Structure 1
C-alpha cells in the first residue's frame, strides 16, 4: 500500500523522462534517448496528471491507544477493517469516501448534499472494539441519521451495531460497535 499519491509519482517520473527527451533532442542530438523520453515520458506525465485530477485523499485516522489496537486485532470484523483500510488510503475515480454506502442507506440525496467523511477514530466502548466515522453533514439532518441507525448497523454487516451521535450541529458520528453475538473473524 502506497503512503503517497500514485499520481504524484507518475507525474514526477513522466516529467523527468520528458525533460530528458527534450534535452536529448535539442542539446545532444541523441535519437534513441529522445524517443525513449517522448514515448515513455509524455504518457506517464499525462497519466499522472489524470490520476491527480481523479484523486480522493485519505481520511485522517486518529492515533489509537495500544489497548485499542489489541482490541482491533482480537475483535474487529472484516467490514470494520475494510472500511478503515479503504478510507485511509488514496483512492481514484470516486466522488467521496463511502459514497455508494451513503447512497444505498438513503443518506445522500444528491452529490452536493452528500455527507463527507472527515475523520476516523478507534475506541474501546465497554470492552468492544468501535470504529467511529465522523461526517460533516450540513445538508442531512440528524433526525434522518437517527431514523437510519438500525439500518446502518445491518448494512455494515453481522456482528456490528451502529450508534449515531451529533457532536455539533453540522457533524454526525457513526460508531460501528462489535457485538458479542458473532465471532470476531466475521
Structure 2
C-alpha cells in the first residue's frame, strides 16, 4: 500500500500546508508557529518539488487479474516475477524508465531515448502456468533484436522462467515471463538483485 503513495505528492501537500501556516502565523504575530511553519514547511515543499521532478509513476495493469490467475501467482510465481511486478507498480525516483538497469544490461537500446518504455503489465495463465507479461513500447528496438536476446532474457530473469516474445502491434513488444516448475528442491535466486 505504501508503495502506491507518491512521496512527492506527500511532500508538496505537507510542505504547502506548513508554509501557509507559517505565513499566516507571521502576519498574525505568532512567532513560534511562524518559525515552525517556515523551518519545516519550506524544506518539505522544496523536497516535494525535487521528488516530483524525478518521479516515475507506477506502471498500470492493462487488464484486471482474475482470481484464478491470482491463485496461480500464489502457487507458482518465482521471486523474480514477484520482484519485477512489485518494482514496476510503485513510484520510483531518479530513474528515466522502469527496468532501465535491466534494459541497459541486456543492451536493448543504446541511449535513454532508444530504450523500450514499459507501458503496462498483465498477469495470465499460459498452459496452466503463471505468466507475467510486460508490455513495452519499442519503436527503436525491433522484434528481431528482442528475439535474439530471448535466451539472455531468460537467464537474466532467473531460473525457472521461460521467456516468450510477441508483437501485438507495430512498435509494441510483449515480454512474457512464464513460471516453470522447479527441477529440484532449494531456494530460487534472481538475476535481478539490487
Instruction: Note the 1:55-70 alignment, pairs <5 A.
Output: 55-61=55-61, 62-70=63-71
Q: Corresponding residue for 1:46? A: 46
Q: Corresponding residue for 1:9? A: 10
Q: Corresponding residue for 1:161? A: 162
Q: Distance in 2 between matches of 1:136 and 1:152?
A: 17
8 Å contact 1:132–1:176 — kept in the other structure?
Answer: yes
Q: Corresponding residue for 2:192? A: none
Deviations 1:21-51 (A, max 9, x none): 111111x111101100000000000001111
Q: Distance in 1 between matches of 2:127 and 2:155?
A: 21
Q: Corresponding residue for 1:34? A: 34
Tell me how many residue pairs correspond in the alignment.
185
Q: Corresponding residue for 1:83? A: 84
Name the CA shift for 1:76/1:185 in 2 (closer, same or farther; >3 Å): farther
Q: Distance in 1 between matches of 2:163 and 2:105?
A: 16
**Is structure 2 residue 145 aligned with structure 1 residue 144?**
yes
TM-score by length of 1: 0.96
Q: Corresponding residue for 2:106? A: 105
Name the CA shift for 1:118/1:106 in 2 (closer, same or farther; >3 Å): same
SS at match of 2:168: coil
Q: Corresponding residue for 2:177? A: 176
**Cα displacement (A) at 1:157:** 0.1
Q: Structure 1: state its 5+ residue gaps.
A: none
Deviations 1:128-178 (A, max 9, x none): 100000000000111000000111011000000100111111000000011
**Cα displacement (A) at 1:108:** 2.2
8 Å contact 1:133–1:173 — kept in the other structure?
Answer: yes
**Cα displacement (A) at 1:184:** 9.6
8 Å contact 1:74–1:184 — kept in the other structure?
Answer: no
